[in-house]
Every structure is written in C-alpha cells, then in structure tokens.
Structure 1
C-alpha cells in the first residue's frame, strides 16, 4: 500500500532509501493477514523513535498507532526480518560502495557501556566501575569499513574479555572466512590463546601509544570507534531504555540500517 503521509521528519525515508529497503520488509504479518497500513509508514515510525529517542506512546499522530508500530518492531526482531535486512544492506554497501567482497575476512571488536533507564531490570544490568556506568554494555564486532557484523548485549559489569568469547563464537559461526580480529588491550591475555585454539582466530592487540594521555587515532581501532559514533547519532541508543536485551540490539541494528540505506541511496543515484 503506498503512503500518503507527508515526509517532513529528518528520519523519514527518501524515495531512494525506500527503494533500497522495501524488498526486505514483509508484505504481511506471517499469519495470512496483510498489513493494512503502508509498510513505509511503519518503518519510518521505527526510525523516528530510534533517531529521536521518544517513548513509544509519544510517536506523532501522523504515524500508525504506537501499539501497532511496536508490534512490528517486536515481530521483525523475533522472526529474523531485521537481521536479513541489516545483513543484506551490509553486503550491498561492501560490494557497491566500498568495492569489497561481500563477506569480510577481518574484523574489529570493542565494547561500550551505556546507562540504563528505570525500564532496564536489575537482572540484566550491572555497574561498570571503570566507566562509572550503571546499565548495560554492548559488545560489537565490525568489519574494516566499520559495518556491524555481530552484537552482544550484557550487563555493564561484564568484562570485555568475558563478553568477547560469545561474541567471537557468533562471529566465527556467521563469518567463517574471518581469520584476523583487532582489539584493544582490554582483550589481551587468555582470550588471545583461547581464540587461536578454539576458533582459529588471530586476535591482534592494538595498544595505546607510549605516554598517550589524550585521544589519538590508532591504527584499525578508529574504525570501530567511528561505528559507535554512528550508532550514537540515534538518541534511543545513547541510553538503554529497552526491557529486553534483544530489543536494545535491534535499536543498534536500526541505527546502522539508517546509515547504510542512506549510503546506498546516495551511491545508486549519483
């Protein structure tokens, strides 16, 4: 169903962006019932919430009802639609924009602690003493272009090395061609030997420069730091408001979808 809603929010899809996204958005609910609202309006509502950080029931009235939008956000997260959309866009960006192979052979890992709102339950949150953050930590793996490959959400108290094990296992399972991973000194130690022994992965530590006290762009590590800045452009990801771990991961994926869809739209119309 075509949309008649005016496009006036910065988060709205352009016609070129929607042409990129539309093939990956289901035409129905999976239960035989067609979507009665334009699929583009539902996608734009999710993007608006992710970009602005508003509450679900504070979505502007020109979008479909917030309960309906949340239903599709939850459904597309659970049934794999979101993963398929995100992964397909990443492969297109690598091939069309970056002129790389669709599948990466190297990756970078890092983590970021974010404060948790009151909606984040005690069982899934923790305290990061180093960053003085009470909330959750997102562990990510990206390719050398900074595109998201894997994400793991834990309590903020989880050490980087502990979170890296399941993250690297998922990375190895999804991208068996990856053989080299760059990481900072927080991942040094037993993780390096464990990854080599169990996953045949070489974890190469990129340490800070001798005497470094201020920010310095470090070899390879700058790419994953840039990814965090891309993610944090969406206010919903700057603080964790999600009750479920998988929903925070979904908000991160939507943030990356916004970045990738815009890059593809610009590239395909130049």
Structure 2
C-alpha cells in the first residue's frame, strides 16, 4: 500500500486492476536477474507523475524512488516492449468491460504535429509546412472507443500517407480482426489501394462537405480527435521533450494507460 499524494497517483481501486496485468519480472519466472528493490506501484506512480506534470527526470519528487531507478524502469519497459504489452492488456480489459470483443474490427487514424524541445536532434525533427511548426508528428490509430491501437512518431516533415504505410501495417499485423479504418482527406491516393491489396484493410475517407460552413462534427473522425485532446492533458506531451522517437512513443502509451486505469476503476452503473 502507498499513500496517495498526487492526482496522478493510482488509487487503491486502480492498483487492484493494474497489479495482475503487470508484466512478470524475469527473476520470478526463473530466468535469473536481481530482485527488484522498489515497489512496482511507487515506480509506476513516479512515471505517471512525470507524464502528467511534464517535469524533468531529475526533478521527480523525493518521496518517489530515486529518479535514475525510475528512468531505468521506463527505459527497460520501452526497449523490451513491456509498456505496449501492459497497455494492450488494459485495452482488452476496457473493451471487455464495455461489452466489446477484446480485439477491434474498426479504427480511426490521424496525426498531430507538436513543437520539439531543444534536446530533440535534427535527425528526428522537421518542419511541417501546413502547421508552420518545427518538431515531430504523432501518427495514431484508435479503435471506436477511442483506445490506442498504435502510435508512430516521426519528424514533422513526414507526410501522413508515408507514415500511414508503416503504422497501418504494424497495427494490421497486431490486430487480425481489423478490417476498416476511417481517415481524413490527407490519406487519399495510392494508400487506399495499398491497404486493400497488401493489408486486406478498407481505408474509408471521411471528407468535409463543401456546402457546410463553420464548425461541424465529422462522423468517426471526432473519436481520434478526442484521443489527441486527451494527450494534451498530459503536460509531457504538450511539447516533445524526448531525445528519441522510441521514448516519445512510450510516453504516449503511458498517457493512454492512465486514461484506461481510471476508466476501469470507476464503479459500473447497476442495471435495473
């Protein structure tokens, strides 16, 4: 048990959901390695604090484990795909709680350009001429509940169609039931034929009508826009502070896990 001090800390209800879904350490499976010194809950709360508040690693509050131990866990989970594994387990649990199949059959794709901090090297940053922004671009695919299926971080000068080739191939390989993905007009052209021929995936373009004036909610596209808006509530994601694109993708996954643990911990309404 750990006393809850910060809004980003897991409640006891969240920890009860999270604990059985955590990846099992190698030493518990007889694969060797050192015993872990610090509580998993304290380590996860420290990472959540950093993602939610946008602080520096060295500025993590002293009541958490030492910052270098927290970063070592973040790096290990990033490099071995454990954060994605943990995230996917949570997503399946959320979908089951909502009465859906654990694996999605439809999704929505979009991208978001953000400014890059000075620590981001020139090899992974670029200029987005449409947004007039120097930084990186996050390409995301979500399901119809707005839960993350995949993320790809590139320099901001990479086009949506070029990044979608790699991202949709990755998502389609991980989710075999996926048959339909909605997208905006930036994904037209040869990408539609590629998805159908190579991935057995229908890419449906949702366009804004020329007759409509002012703001209008477009079918399905609002789902991914809502997810991107959620990312902006995590201060670490308001700007890209990560030295590598792998770390940038990991932070997106951590932000998405916070959304799902809170959702799972909420009491379900009783059915009359």
| Bin of the TM-score, shorter chain as denominator length | over 0.9
Going from structure 1 to structure 2, the CA distance change for 1:205 and 1:68 (only over 3 Å counts) comes to same
Mapping for residues 127-142 of structure 1, pairs under 5 Å: 127-142=127-142
Q: CA deviation at 1:146?
A: 0.6
> Aligned match of 1:8 in 5, 8, 11?
5
Q: CA deviation at 1:172?
A: 1.2
Mapping for residues 169-208 of structure 1, pairs under 5 Å: 169-208=169-208
Q: CA deviation at 1:24?
A: 3.2
Post-superposition CA distance 1:95-139 (Å, at most 9, x none): 11x211111111110000011001111001111010111111010
The answer on 1:165 being equivalent to 2:146 is no
Q: Is the 8 A contact 1:24 1:81 kept in 2?
A: no
Going from structure 1 to structure 2, the CA distance change for 1:191 and 1:26 (only over 3 Å counts) comes to closer
Q: CA deviation at 1:80?
A: 2.3
CA distance in 1, matches of 2:126, 2:215: 27
Q: Is the 8 A contact 1:27 1:35 kept in 2?
A: no
Q: Could you say which residue in structure 1 is the equivalent of 2:65?
A: 64
CA distance in 2, matches of 1:159, 1:51: 29
Mapping for residues 41-60 of structure 1, pairs under 5 Å: 41-60=42-61
CA distance in 1, matches of 2:151, 2:119: 21
CA distance in 2, matches of 1:44, 1:52: 12
Q: Is the 8 A contact 2:108 2:182 kept in 1?
A: yes
Q: Could you say which residue in structure 1 is the equivalent of 2:19?
A: 22
CA distance in 2, matches of 1:264, 1:119: 36
Aligned residues: 266
| 5+ residue gaps, structure 2 | none
Post-superposition CA distance 1:126-155 (Å, at most 9, x none): 110101111110101110111000111100
Q: Is the 8 A contact 2:47 2:74 kept in 1?
A: yes
TM-score computed with the length of structure 2 as normaliser = 0.93
Q: Is the 8 A contact 2:21 2:90 kept in 1?
A: no
Q: Is the 8 A contact 1:115 1:134 kept in 2?
A: yes
- RMSD (Å), alpha carbons: 1.6
CA distance in 2, matches of 1:153, 1:66: 25
| 5+ residue gaps, structure 1 | none
> Which secondary structure state, in structure 1, belongs to the residue aligned with residue 266 of structure 2?
helix
CA distance in 1, matches of 2:67, 2:212: 48
TM-score computed with the length of structure 1 as normaliser = 0.94
> Which secondary structure state, in structure 2, belongs to the residue aligned with residue 111 of structure 1?
strand
Q: CA deviation at 1:186?
A: 0.4
Going from structure 1 to structure 2, the CA distance change for 1:209 and 1:69 (only over 3 Å counts) comes to same
Going from structure 1 to structure 2, the CA distance change for 1:28 and 1:176 (only over 3 Å counts) comes to closer
CA distance in 1, matches of 2:177, 2:81: 22
Q: Could you say which residue in structure 2 is the equivalent of 1:82?
A: 83
Q: CA deviation at 1:181?
A: 0.8
Going from structure 1 to structure 2, the CA distance change for 1:197 and 1:48 (only over 3 Å counts) comes to same
Q: Is the 8 A contact 1:29 1:35 kept in 2?
A: no
CA distance in 1, matches of 2:202, 2:70: 42
CA distance in 1, matches of 2:174, 2:230: 23
